Amino acid sequence: MKILVMNAGSSSLKYQLYEMTGEAVLAHGRVERIGSDSAIVTHEAAGRPELREVKEMLDHNAAVKRVIELLTDSGSGVLGAMGDIDAVGHRVVHGGESFKASTLVTNEVKQEIRRLFDLAPLHNPPAMMGIAAAEANLPNVPQAVVFDTAFHQTMPMETFLYPIPMVLYKRHKIRRYGFHGTSHDYVSAHAAEKIGKPLASLKMVTCHIGNGASCAAILDGKSYDTSMGLTPLEGLMMGTRSGDLDPAIVPFTMAREELTLGEVSSMLNKHSGLQAISGTSSDMREITDAMQEGDKQAKLAFDMYTYRLRKYIGAYAAAMNGIDALVFTAGVGENSIVFRKAVCEGLTFLGIELDERRNAVRSKEARYISSDASRVAVLVVPTNEELLIARDTYRLVNNRSQA
Ligand code: AMP
């Protein structure tokens, strides 16, 4: 079965085509700057040279149409015909409380995703555009949606509620939802497999540290708590997002700097985090390079970033009354040796002992970076959200045809 995985942003579309036998990626690519006369398409198919083109693409419909052309083209393609695509899996950021698992797309499902626009105004509308474009271009092909929030729907009330008037939860569903769920799901399952024990028997903290960053406490095989909240702004310090802060800073800054709510919101989302403290970059590679050249601001940004993650790991170890495994994933978590070293060095009280040689190995495979004597297994597990979307889609479509 061939499954097309799509991740639609406001002006972008990323895609991967999977052959589920062997879970091979047949082709992948992205369209950027959708909505302009100079959209950029990058497409790579197995065994073919990479293709790059710039062309007018006014909406997601045009982008999906082009992707299908490229997938079926005799030069760049890997499919004989459009009909070879058996199903499409879409990434949707916010599933609210309505979606506790991935599901096949129906009219009711689309209506519910639209109802959730309020909770994710930047993310859910483009995902809907992606779904509509896929339906228009691939009629009668089953579509599935996989939500970033669904994995965290197992959180109990004491961890997902904010200590604010209950009426806000009842009326507006203001609560912690958490994000990066497909990634936390994928890496926790893989880490348990690598350790060779059932996930349900392990107290685990998974750290998805990329441009956006979140960590999750996994207890009894389920998400028990996670650092992102109602929106992806809460929690860890990120590339350009502040993460946790005193909420009183918002009205205080608005008053002192004469800023609007929108401006403060943009400051916290786009001009904070590593970028704000280092004064130069939101990219961990540049931060660590600058740090090694003696840049004090870069060092401060790095120290704050690792300190804040250490606090969360400690808090989650306390929340679960222990920790058996710590997992790093995503751009920074998978690649930055100095970052993982700095985080783990301050956690020896938990029984975490890093093996420096293992930590320095670069690989695309899941691996231990703790020493054999470490009481806590520390692993790097490369995330693969697209594969999880493909697997969920495959399962849903198979179940449907067996029903
Ligand atoms: P992601 O959002 O998961 O794609 O992660 C992107 C981030 O990963 C970038 O902004 C970089 O800060 C970081 N990153 C990628 N490669 C490296 C590397 N080799 N060393 C340190 N950080 C890296």
**Short-list 211, 155, 206, 160, CA closest to 183:** 206
Distances (CA, A) of 86 to 68, 121, 147, 299, 401: 13, 30, 20, 50, 12
Beta carbon of 289 within 6 Å of any ligand 1 atom: no
- Distance in angstroms (rounded) separating the CA atoms of residues 387 and 393: 10
pTM comes to 0.95
Ligand 1 atom closest to Cα of 211? 2
Cα(82) to ligand 1 centroid in Å equals 35
Q: Which residues of 76-95 are buried (b: 16+ CB within 10 A; e: fewer)?
A: bbbbeeeeebebbbbbbbbb
The protein residue whose alpha carbon is closest to atom 9 in ligand 1 is: 283
- Distance in angstroms (rounded) separating the CA atoms of residues 237 and 307: 9
Relative to beta strand 13-19, strand 103-104 is unpaired
Beta carbon of 115 within 6 Å of any ligand 1 atom: no
The three state secondary structure string of 271-317 is: CCHHHHHHCCCCCHHHHHHHHHCCCHHHHHHHHHHHHHHHHHHHHHH
Average pLDDT, rounded, for the chain: 96
Length of the chain: 403
pLDDT at 121: 85
Beta carbon of 210 within 6 Å of any ligand 1 atom: yes
Cα(34) to ligand 1 centroid in Å equals 24
Ligand 1 pocket test target in 187, 285, 364 with most atoms within 8 Å of CB: 285
- Is the separation of the CB atoms in 303 and 235 below 8 Å? no
DSSP state string for 51-102: EEEEEEE-SHHHHHHHHHHHHH-TTT-S-SSGGG--EEEEEES--TTT-SS-
- Distance in angstroms (rounded) separating the CA atoms of residues 237 and 259: 22
- Is the separation of the CB atoms in 272 and 239 below 8 Å? no
- Is the separation of the CB atoms in 238 and 213 below 8 Å? yes
- Distance in angstroms (rounded) separating the CA atoms of residues 241 and 58: 30
Coil, strand or helix at 198: coil
Cα(327) to ligand 1 centroid in Å equals 16
Beta bridge partners of 51: 43
| Residues annotated as part of the active site | 148
pLDDT in tens, the chain (403 residues): 999 999 999 899 999 999 999 999 999 999 999 999 999 999 999 888 899 999 999 999 999 999 999 999 988 889 999 999 999 999 999 999 999 999 999 999 999 999 999 888 888 999 999 999 999 999 999 999 999 999 999 999 999 999 999 999 999 999 999 999 999 999 999 999 999 999 999 999 999 999 999 999 999 999 999 999 999 999 999 999 999 999 999 999 999 999 999 999 999 999 999 999 999 999 999 999 999 999 999 999 999 999 999 999 999 999 999 999 999 999 999 999 999 999 999 999 999 999 999 999 988 999 999 999 999 999 999 999 999 999 999 999 999 878 7
Q: Per residue in 324-356, pLDDT tens?
A: 999 999 999 999 999 999 999 999 999 999 999
Q: Which amino acid is at 269?
A: N
Beta carbon of 281 within 6 Å of any ligand 1 atom: no
Beta carbon of 273 within 6 Å of any ligand 1 atom: no
Q: Determine the CATH number of domain 2-147.
A: 3.30.420.40
Q: Determine the CATH number of domain 197-385.
A: 3.30.420.40
Structure tokens at 180: 């990066």
All structural domains of the chain with their residue ranges: 2-147, 197-385
Structure tokens at 29: 């690519």
Q: Around 55, how many Cα atoms within 13 Å sit in the side-chain half-sphere?
A: 12
pLDDT at 398: 94
Cα(213) to ligand 1 centroid in Å equals 11
- Distance in angstroms (rounded) separating the CA atoms of residues 144 and 88: 6
pLDDT at 49: 86
Beta carbon of 330 within 6 Å of any ligand 1 atom: yes
**Short-list 296, 361, 372, 304, CA closest to 334:** 361
pLDDT at 28: 97
- Distance in angstroms (rounded) separating the CA atoms of residues 77 and 227: 41
Beta carbon of 286 within 6 Å of any ligand 1 atom: no
Cα(285) to ligand 1 centroid in Å equals 7
Cα(111) to ligand 1 centroid in Å equals 36
- Is the separation of the CB atoms in 93 and 117 below 8 Å? no
The protein residue whose alpha carbon is closest to atom 20 in ligand 1 is: 336
Beta carbon of 335 within 6 Å of any ligand 1 atom: yes
Ligand 1 pocket test target in 180, 206, 211, 236 with most atoms within 8 Å of CB: 211
